[in-house]
């Protein structure tokens, strides 16, 4: 039985939004390219609909989104889903393409049942430190695997690189970078390293929203919490037991007076009245021959984690970023004064899904 069980790996997918659709397309290609082990989708759901059969029959990739939309089934409650997947008799991988805290909270349950997990969901790894401990304890106890490369920097090899540095015994002293595609785009437009151009802050925020670089309510980017979540994950991997994304200084770029604006549209409408503050920040940097950027940093020795505005010389790699790229610098004992730098697109459905697919391949190499 053991020999035949690994001829097939069952895949359960939660979430079919932007990343979910891209992942499904990559999975279909992967399944066609790699006949062994056979990759079989046995469960897929959105927040409202689910597609599965009680005897774990393979779901056909063809017309899957429309078949799912027509399904009479609601998603299984998470404890029931763990039971369902745990009784299939085949190795199973759960792919969580959501940003749901409820799904994240259930990871220890799935892992405890021997179900491996791959996910871009930041909330599982940046929530309470106890959840982080419970996730990895459950995986260690059952032998199930958990990978989350795309929870920081989409498909960029940020987490795998940091893990390799730590696991091979290098001493990571500092991590610094631009971890938000939104903030990268905003500041590269608002305060370009070339010194020319750059509109008013409120106009740049409005433009970024129209181009789809921000959340529907830009305050969800400007509050710095997205970056703080990513820093929490990296700090923990570097050995710092950071309690939560709110346990260290995070600079919000939302004027206090606009925190209570009823909607994102109202916020954008009122933002121009507060442009002077950001203009002064930009001018101050220019007077020093620098540019201002929104960065996160982890000083491992002093255990300091912070997120906020910093000024950089024009020759600094962070100043020279283009578009919405991310850049992450690892300062370590082995690499000395010149950091190991990872740079590239840190957002987008295809590259985020690539990180998830790559993690799935890692799991397959260990369980099949």
Q: Specify the CATH number for the domain of residue 359.
A: 3.40.50.720
Span 184-217, pLDDT tens digits: 999 999 999 987 778 899 999 999 998 888 888 9
Residues 121, 36 contacting (CB under 8 angstroms): no
Average pLDDT over residues 227-242: 97
pLDDT at 10 over 80: yes
Q: Stretch 315-332: mean pLDDT, rounded?
A: 94
- Asked if 302 and 183 sit in the same domain, the reply is yes
Residue 71 maps to a domain = yes
**Residues 150-174: tens digit of each pLDDT:** 999 999 999 999 999 999 999 999 9
* pLDDT > 80? residue 300: yes
Are residues 322 and 175 part of one domain? yes
pLDDT, the chain, mean: 94
Is residue 34 in a domain? yes
Give how far Cα 6 sits from Cα of 20, 27, 38, 106, 310, Å: 25, 18, 9, 25, 51
**Residue 177 bridge partners (DSSP):** 296, 328
In a domain, 228, yes or no: yes
- For residues 210 and 272, state if they share a domain: yes
For residue 63, pLDDT beyond 90: no
pLDDT (0 to 100) of residue 368: 83
What would the two tokens of residue 202 be?
């409120």
pLDDT given at position 214: 86
Alpha-carbon span 166 to 206, nearest angstrom? 41
**Which residue among the candidates 209, 230, 282, 311 is catalytic per the annotation?**
230
Count of structural domains within the chain: 2
Same-domain check for residues 146 and 170:
no
Residues 50 and 136 grouped into a single domain: yes
Contacts of 44 (CB under 8 A, 6+ apart): 12, 13, 14, 16, 50, 51, 52, 59, 64, 68
Q: How far apart are CA 216 and CA 3, in angstroms?
A: 49
Q: Which residues are annotated as a binding site for L-homoserine?
A: 215
Looking only at the bridges linking them, the beta strands covering 290-299 and 8-14 are unpaired
Please tell me whether residues 56 and 180 are part of one structural domain: no
Q: Two tokens at 224?
A: 């710095």
> What's the confidence (pLDDT) of residue 80?
97
Q: What is the pLDDT of residues 103-138, one digit of tens each?
A: 999 999 999 999 999 999 999 999 999 999 999 999
pLDDT at 4: 45
| 51 inside domain | yes
DSSP-derived letter for residue 194 is T
Q: Do 186 and 145 lie in a common domain?
A: no
10 Å CB burial of residue 66 (0-12, 13-18, 19+) is exposed
Q: Which residues pair with 174 in a beta bridge?
A: 299, 331
CATH code, 268? 3.30.360.10
Same domain for 100 and 112, yes or no, is yes
Are 162 and 56 part of one and the same domain?
Answer: no
- Residue 46: both structure tokens together: 């959105």
* Rounded CA separation 341/167 (Å): 18
Identify the domain containing residue 260 by its residue range.
Answer: 158-347
| Shared-domain flag, residues 201 and 301 | yes
pLDDT at 213: 85
Q: Is residue 3 part of a domain?
A: no
What pLDDT, on the 0 to 100 scale, is given for residue 302? 96
52 and 148 housed in the same domain: yes
230 counts as catalytic: yes
Contact indicator for 179, 230 with CB cutoff of 8 Å = yes
What pLDDT sits at residue 168? 98
Q: What is the DSSP string of 5-71?
A: HTTEEEEEEE--SHHHHHHHHHHHHHHHH--SSEEEEEEEE-SS-EEE-TT-PPPPSTTHHHHHHT-
Mean pLDDT, range 318-344, rounded to an integer: 95
End-to-end CA separation in angstroms for the chain = 14
**Burial class (CB within 10 angstroms; exposed 0-12, middle 13-18, buried 19+) of 340:** middle
Residue 344 reports pLDDT greater than 70: yes
Q: What backbone phi and psi angles, to 5 degrees, belong to 47?
A: -70, -20
Whether 2 is covered by a domain: the verdict is: no
- Residue 232 lies inside a defined structural domain of this protein: yes
Give the strand order in the sheet containing 91-96. 50-52, 38-45, 8-14, 91-96, 116-118, 146-147
Pair 340, 363 in one domain: no
189 φ/ψ angles, rounded to the nearest 5 degrees: -85, -40
The percentage of the chain sitting over the pLDDT mark of 90, rounded to a whole number, equals: 87
- C-alpha distances in angstroms, 356 versus 4, 124, 282, 289, 350? 26, 15, 37, 41, 10
Interval 226-233 mean pLDDT: 96
**Confidence band of 5 (pLDDT split at 50, 70, 90):** very low
Query: Cis peptide leading into 177, omega within 30 of 0?
Result: no
State the binding site for NADPH. Answer: 98, 122
DSSP category for residue 254: S
Spatial distance between the Cα atoms of 39 and 59, rounded to a whole number of angstroms: 11
- Cα separation, 18 vs 194, in Å, equals 34
Place of tokens 């921000």: 214
Structural domain includes residue 70:
yes
């Amino acid at each position: 039985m053991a020999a035949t069980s690994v001829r097939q790996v069952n895949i359960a997918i939660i979430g079919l939004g932007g990343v979910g659709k891209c992942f499904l397309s990559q999975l279909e290609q992967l399944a066609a390219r790699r006949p062994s082990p056979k990759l079989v989708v046995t469960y897929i759901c959105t927040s409202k609909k689910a597609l599965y059969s009680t005897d774990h029959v393979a779901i056909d990739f063809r017309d899957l989104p429309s078949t799912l939309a027509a399904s009479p089934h609601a998603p299984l409650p998470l404890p029931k889903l763990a039971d369902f997947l745990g009784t299939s008799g085949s190795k199973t991988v759960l792919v969580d393409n959501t940003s749901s805290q409820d799904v994240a909270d259930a990871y220890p349950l799935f892992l405890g049942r021997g179900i491996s997990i791959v996910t871009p969901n930041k909330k599982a790894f940046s929530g309470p430190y106890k959840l982080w401990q419970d996730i990895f304890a459950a995986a260690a106890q059952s032998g199930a695997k958990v990978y989350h490369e795309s929870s920081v920097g989409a498909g960029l090899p940020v987490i795998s690189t940091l893990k390799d540095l730590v696991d091979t015994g290098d001493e990571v002293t500092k991590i610094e970078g631009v971890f938000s595609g939104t903030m990268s785009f905003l500041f590269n437009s608002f305060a370009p390293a070339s010194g020319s151009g750059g509109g008013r802050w409120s106009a740049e925020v409005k433009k970024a929203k129209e181009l789809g670089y921000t959340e529907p309510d830009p305050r969800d980017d400007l509050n710095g919490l997205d970056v703080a979540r990513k820093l929490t994950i990296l700090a923990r991997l570097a050995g710092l037991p950071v309690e939560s994304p709110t346990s260290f200084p995070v600079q919000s770029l939302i004027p206090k007076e606009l925190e209570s604006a009823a909607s994102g549209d109202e916020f954008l409408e009122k933002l121009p009245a507060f442009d002077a503050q950001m203009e002064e920040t930009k001018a101050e940097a220019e007077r020093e021959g620098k540019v201002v950027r929104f960065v996160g940093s982890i000083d491992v020795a002093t255990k300091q984690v912070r997120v906020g505005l910093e000024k950089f010389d024009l020759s600094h790699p962070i100043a020279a970023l283009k578009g919405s790229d991310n850049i992450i610098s690892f300062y370590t004992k082995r690499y000395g004064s010149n950091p190991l730098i990872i740079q590239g697109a840190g957002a987008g459905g295809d590259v985020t899904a690539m990180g998830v697919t790559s993690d799935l391949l890692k799991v397959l190499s260990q369980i099949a």
